[in-house]
Amino acid sequence: MDAIVKDSAPEAAGGEGYAQVQKIKTVGVIGAGQMGNGIAHVSALAGYDVFLNDLKKEAVEQALETMSHNMDRQVSKGLISQDDKDAALARVKYAKDLKALGNCDLVIEAATEEEDIKRKIFVDLCPVLKPEASIASNTSSLSITRLASVTDRPERFIGMHFMNPVPVMELVELIRGIATEDETFTATRAFVASLNKTIAVSEDFPAFIVNRILLPMINEAVYTLYEGVGTVDAIDKAMRLGAHHPMGPLELADFIGLDTCLSVMQVLYEGLADSKYRPCPLLVKYVEAGWLGRKSQRGFYDYRGDTPVPTR
């Protein structure tokens, strides 16, 4: 199977897979944060009814505001019409608890990148789902096989890793667990294609493809700062202008979230047992301080003023 798959419509998946994606009409999304609201956004625009769940109703209300703002930008660029926006937002409903996801055909988990939290969600979710429903995890690094093992349907469990920001980024990594059936993979591939995304198929190894390559680069940039080779500004400027990266690695780390960066590096370090993946002590220190990047207003940059200022 090709590692990169681009399907322009659900029909491209063909046969039984297309028949299954035809049945996917209602999508549940667990987690209304940056990733969850983006997944809800693209799913609703593609015509799916979406039930968005979070521990706090306020998080869902904020997610709807974010979706509306992001869709306004798409309207201004001529990517969608105002009618498209209005119809999509009308398709997104608040799910006050996991029971409200009981009639969903597909549930996508987009909670925080902590395995214990995700496992508990799946344990609580399975009893309320209909037997034919599938589950996908948006994990960026954790074992799909291990997550699937706590469910009652490992054959209908798959990794569906969207890139951030979801409405803008074209790629979705698909990861099969050891028990994932062909029908689940085919139907999921067709679903992702219906969102107008490009698919990269990854084996179930720690951090998959994108983060296996990206996060060690970010970690090395933090080591470069830690060892005094360059300042925050110099490191980011060097990679923007010297390697033509759209964002410097430390700026990107702040955008991703330093806690997420650390979690992925810990998964790589523990899962592959190679010292080259050891998280930089400075990254650990920032996370311990609660300096997590943009979401906490401080990371490698301080975002509390009008212009971000390097913190080192």
Active site members: 140, 161, 173, 211
Picking from 28, 211, 38, the residue whose alpha carbon sits closest to that of residue 108 is 28
Amino acid letter at 245? H
Provide the 8-state DSSP code for 229: S
Handedness of CA 36, 37, 42, 43 (dihedral sign): positive
- Give the H or E element holding residue 45: helix 34-45
Q: Give dist(CA 108, CA 175) in Å, integer.
A: 13
Picking from 271, 119, 112, the residue whose alpha carbon sits closest to that of residue 206 is 271
CB 37 within 8 A of CB 63: yes
Cis preceding-peptide flag for 127 (omega within 30 of 0): no
Token pair listed for 96: 């006050």
3-state secondary structure of 200: strand
Token pair listed for 252: 């990107």
Q: Give dist(CA 216, CA 141) in Å, integer.
A: 13
Compute the chain's Rg from CA coordinates.
Answer: 20
Token pair listed for 206: 């720690």
Token pair listed for 123: 């344990």
Contacts of 213 (CB under 8 A, 6+ apart): none
Picking from 246, 245, 244, 231, the residue whose alpha carbon sits closest to that of residue 301 is 231
Provide the 8-state DSSP code for 13: G
